[in-house]
Amino acid sequence: MTWKHTSSHLTKKVKVSYSAGKFLLTVNWNAKFVIFIDFFTSVTINLARYCETLTKLRPGLLFLDDNAIPNTARDTKEHIRLLGWERLDDPGYGPDLVASDFHLFPAWKSAPLGRHLRSNSEVRLVVENFLRSLGTDFYQDGFLKLISLNDKCINVGGEYLEK
């Protein structure tokens, strides 16, 4: 509460609008389509939870993820090996070297939703429909950009790249 002079103008109170809540989205995709989508509500992604998610994916992947702590743990690397996948070493975090950061999420941010989503299930449905609507050309373009950017990173000795 603040004290004001009687001749002061009254301040307007902001009307609070409630959101459906927050959750974490995990998206795994290849050069053609989305492989797996998972939503986490009120969960910390730790080593056990991350390995549980990986187990839901299909076998025989060439796997690249970012360098978040659960992703780079020794036990995670061993779990990926036991799944029979080949893991590409992440060159270090840079928004221009993580395909979802430079390709997928900007497409989502620019999508014209035009409506307020009122529940987690509604958000999930919209996200899943959006990701599936992007088409093979979109995902293939993301992979071609990823290859090009990683090639540039290798050619400059791992230094940070500007777009």
Tens digit of each residue's pLDDT (9 = 90 or more) over 43-52: 777 778 878 8
Within a domain: 100: yes
pTM above 0.75, yes or no: no
The per-residue pLDDT for 147 is: 84
pLDDT digits (tens, 9 = 90+) for 10-55: 666 666 655 556 777 888 888 888 888 888 777 777 778 878 888 8
Within a domain: 3: no
Write the Ramachandran bin of 5: left for phi over 0, alpha for psi from -120 to 50, otherwise beta: beta
pLDDT digits (tens, 9 = 90+) for 139-163: 999 989 988 887 887 777 766 656 5
- pLDDT score of 138 more than 90: yes
Q: How many domains does the chain have?
A: 1
Residue 100 belongs to domain spanning: 24-156
The domain spanning residue 144 has which CATH number? 3.30.420.10
